[in-house]
Amino acid sequence: MIKDKKGAMTRSFMALRVRVIIAGLLLLTLAYGLYSGQIVVNSPWG
């Protein structure tokens, strides 16, 4: 049986970190689009 040098928890935290970074970049891109006017809210209540 082959064992990882790094544990499964380390791999899980690394995957979580990547997901959080991608989500943060997505939110920053959305915020920039709203701020620059390239994305406009066209909902009747907003």
Q: What is the pLDDT of residues 1-46, one digit of tens each?
A: 566 666 778 888 999 999 999 999 999 999 999 999 999 989 888 6
Per-residue confidence (pLDDT) for residue 45, from 0 to 100: 84
Instruction: Please report which helix (H) or strand (E) contains residue 34, including its range.
Output: helix 8-36
Per-residue confidence (pLDDT) for residue 8, from 0 to 100: 75
- Which residue is listed with tokens 């943060």? 24
Per-residue confidence (pLDDT) for residue 9, from 0 to 100: 81
The contacts of residue 34 (CB under 8 Å, 6+ apart) are 41
Per-residue confidence (pLDDT) for residue 24, from 0 to 100: 98
